[in-house]
Amino acid sequence: MTRTRRRLLPVLLALCALACLLPGGAGADEARVRVFDEVWEQVRARYYDPGLRGVDWPALGESLRPLAARARDEAEFYAVLRRLLGSLRDPHTRVFPPGEGADWRVQRFVSVGVSVRELGGELVVTGVAPDSEAERAGVRAGDAVSSVDGEPAAAVVARRLSEQPAADASAARLLAVTRLFDGPRDSAVTVTFRRDPEGRERVARLRRELFERAPELKVSRSGGVAVARFNIFTETVAVEFVRALRDEAKGARALVIDLRDNGGGETESMTDIASTLLPSGTPLGRFTGRDGRAVIEPRTRGLLLAAADVLVRFRGPVVVLTGPRTASAAEVFAASLKEAGRARVVGEATCGCVLGIRRRHTLADGGVLDISEMDYRTAGGARLEGAGVRPEEELAPTRQDLRRGRDRALERAVEIAKAEARRERG
């Protein structure tokens, strides 16, 4: 998610009571209705698109408000809120229960420890969390998911899509796949996996646990090519990236930046990293508010905003790796380097999830609400929301690649980087 440091004075908004009146009820029911109304009104007043993407917001509020009132617990109530926000088909506009969204830098999520994506018409495991129940049950990358609690996996995805409009949108489908194993924390789910072509299956009973993923930067070398991989844009990551150029990547003839697992982050931190690769003053696009006026127009600079470290500029060839999970600030970064002719983009098309959040809103119950308040266009005028960044060379993994632990996209990126470095050396 893209962010800015601009601090705004708090605005007091009068909560708007919807037409549907709640019969009876008290205590927790009334408190949840107040929070529901708070979310509904904040989105109505602040969303970047005054037309709310064509959603009949009053009618939707009327239909979902009774469900919020009847919610049996916090999990069920927040499921109603997610259904409300899901109608916007915008992964940036989202809500977190109390305790889960306090620090946006550290991602907290309930999972069975298995990452899945669609490949060749199948739902395929792309990763398994270390020391998880799934790993101990023998689940491996490349396994296909056949069913979830006895329901065919494809049917689960279709049901997730039916819960929100525009099911054909790539971002909506990606979200539906990532929600394949959704359920309350500490509950169990039975998953059937298929590994070999003969169709033999294994069944695993997995518990939904709370996982955390902190910001992380890893730098490695492949011959004369430095490979940098990071999962989010933060001040700390920006500083570590600059220091890596000075230390681990010192002497590298070319650079590969792997953004395939990068979901975005701070605009200013993204600008710091872009400043190590582009001339000072290079425009990185513009963010506009609901009135169409520019709110933020980031440009590269000659000094780091995140720290007093001397800004190190990398002069060699750059290749950027992208994929369906590359989102928000990571898409802005990739698009800016591509438009400036500074980097080749390899891999798969990005998410197309590029809207801006100006400030977070803390709900009355301690939950956190993020609202997309800004739209974005590149310096060249391209709108990335719903479109994403297309790589110049597309290369997707296969089940066989995953089973063997082979990363052909990374191999190709390194190969291109080496070739570019040789060409520049003459």
Q: Which of 50-59, 205-214, 258-267, 305-314 has the lowest mean pLDDT?
A: 305-314
Q: For residues 9 and 97, which has the higher predicted lDDT (pLDDT)?
A: 97
Q: Tokens representing 330?
A: 């990571």
pTM of the model: 0.83
Structure tokens at 155: 């049917």
For residues 314 and 176, which has the higher predicted lDDT (pLDDT)? 314
Give the pLDDT confidence score for residue 89 in this predicted structure: 83
Are the beta carbons of 6 and 287 closer than 8 angstroms? no
Tell me: the pLDDT tens digits for 136-153? Answer: 999 999 999 999 999 999
b/e for 254-280, b at 16 or more Cβ within 10 A?
Answer: bbbbbbbbbbbbbbbbbbbbbbbbbee
Strand duo 225-230 + 217-222: pairing: antiparallel
Q: Are 334 and 350 in contact (CB under 8 A)?
A: yes
Cα-Cα-Cα-Cα dihedral of 270, 360, 85, 146, to 10°?
50
Is the CB of residue 125 less than 8 Å from the CB of residue 193? yes
Cβ atoms 297, 286 nearer than 8 A:
yes
What is the full DSSP assignment across 349-373?
-------B----EE-TTS-EEE---
Q: Indicate whether 23 pLDDT > 90.
A: no
Question: Between vectors from CA 370 to CA 92 and to CA 339, what angle results, nearest 5°?
Answer: 40
- Residue 171 is predicted with a pLDDT of 65
- Fold assignment, 107-213: Pdz3 Domain (2.30.42)
State how far the Cα of 426 lies from the Cα of 424, in Å rounded to an integer.
Answer: 5
The average pLDDT across 314-343 equals 96
pLDDT band at 16 (very low <50, low <70, confident <90, very high): very low
pLDDT of residue 162: 72
pLDDT digits (tens, 9 = 90+) for 272-312: 999 999 999 999 999 999 999 999 999 999 888 766 677 88
Q: What's the one-letter identity of residue 75?
A: A
Report how far residue 217's alpha carbon sits from residue 103's, in angstroms, rounded to the nearest whole number: 18
pLDDT the model gives residue 24: 34
Task: Give residue 93's pLDDT.
Answer: 92
71 phi and psi, to 5 degrees?
A: -55, 135
Per-residue pLDDT of 161-172, as tens digits, reads 776 544 335 667
DSSP 73: S
| Predicted confidence (pLDDT) at residue 337 exceeds the cutoff of 90 | yes
Cβ-Cβ contacts under 8 Å for 174 (sequence gap 6 or more): 117, 324, 325, 351
CATH superfamily of 217-425: 2-enoyl-CoA Hydratase; Chain A, domain 1 (3.90.226.10)
pLDDT at 377: 96
* Stretch among 13-27, 236-250, 375-389 having the lowest mean pLDDT: 13-27
Tell me the pLDDT of the chain averaged across its residues: 86
